[in-house]
Structure 1
Amino acid sequence: MKKIIGDNMIDHDLMKLSQLIYHYCGLNYSGRLLALKDKLAKRVGELGLSFGDYSSYLAKFPAEWDLLVEILTINETYFYREEHQLNECCHTVLPMLKEMKGNRPIKIWSAACSTGEEPYTLAMLIQETRKFPQGSVEIIATDINKKVLQKAETGWYHKGSFAFRRIPDLFMKKYFQEQNNGFKIDDSIQKMVTFRHLNLLETSRSSFLSDIDVVFCRNVLIYFDQDTTKKVIIHLHRKLAPGGFLFLGHAESITELGLGFQKVDSHKTFYYRKDTDTK
Structure 2
Amino acid sequence: MMNMQDNGLVKLSQIIYDYCGLRYADRLPTLKEKVSKRVLELGLSHWEYCQYLKMSPGEWDVIVELLTINETYFYREENQLTECCSYVLSLIKRKNKNRPIRIWSAACSSGEEPYSLAMLIQETGQFLPGSIEIIATDINKKVLQKAEMGWYHHGSFAFRRTPENLLKKYFTDEDGGHQIKPSIQKMVQFQYLNLLEQDKIFQLGEVDIIFCRNVLIYFDHDTTKRVIRSLHQNLADGGYLFLGHAESITDMTLGFKKVDSDKTFYYRKESDQNETVQCISG
Match of 2:270 in 1: 275
1:216, distance to aligned residue in structure 2 (A): 0.1
Match of 1:73 in 2: 68
Q: 2:245 aligns with which of 232, 237, 250?
A: 250
Take 1:159 and 1:259, find their aligned partners in 2: how far apart are those partners?
Answer: 44
Give a deviation string over 1:70-118, Cα, whole Å, max 9, x none: 0000000000000000000001100000001113100000000000000
Work out the number of aligned pairs and report it.
Answer: 274
1:8, distance to aligned residue in structure 2 (A): 2.7
Q: 2:135 aligns with which of 127, 134, 140?
A: 140
Take 2:187 and 2:206, find their aligned partners in 1: how far apart are those partners?
Answer: 18
**8 A Cα contact 2:202 2:234, kept in partner:** no
**8 A Cα contact 2:79 2:263, kept in partner:** yes
**8 A Cα contact 1:78 1:117, kept in partner:** yes
Match of 1:203 in 2: 198
Give a deviation string over 1:119-158, Cα, whole Å, max 9, x none: 0000000000000000000000000000000000000000
Match of 1:47 in 2: 42
Q: CA RMSD in A?
A: 1.2
**8 A Cα contact 1:79 1:117, kept in partner:** yes
Structure 1 position 9 matched with structure 2 position 4: yes
1:27, distance to aligned residue in structure 2 (A): 0.3
Structure 1 position 186 matched with structure 2 position 181: yes
1:170, distance to aligned residue in structure 2 (A): 1.2
Matching of residues 134-173 of structure 1 within 5 Å:
134-173=129-168
Q: 1:31 aligns with which of 23, 26, 30?
A: 26
1:136 partner letter: S
1:203, distance to aligned residue in structure 2 (A): 1.2
Structure 1 position 129 matched with structure 2 position 124: yes
Q: SS state of the match for residue 254, structure 2?
A: coil
With over 3 angstroms needed to count, the CA separation of the structure-2 counterparts of 1:278 and 1:130, relative to structure 1, is farther
**8 A Cα contact 1:255 1:261, kept in partner:** no
Match of 2:280 in 1: none
**8 A Cα contact 1:84 1:268, kept in partner:** yes
Gaps (5+ residues) in structure 2? 275-282
With over 3 angstroms needed to count, the CA separation of the structure-2 counterparts of 1:208 and 1:277, relative to structure 1, is closer
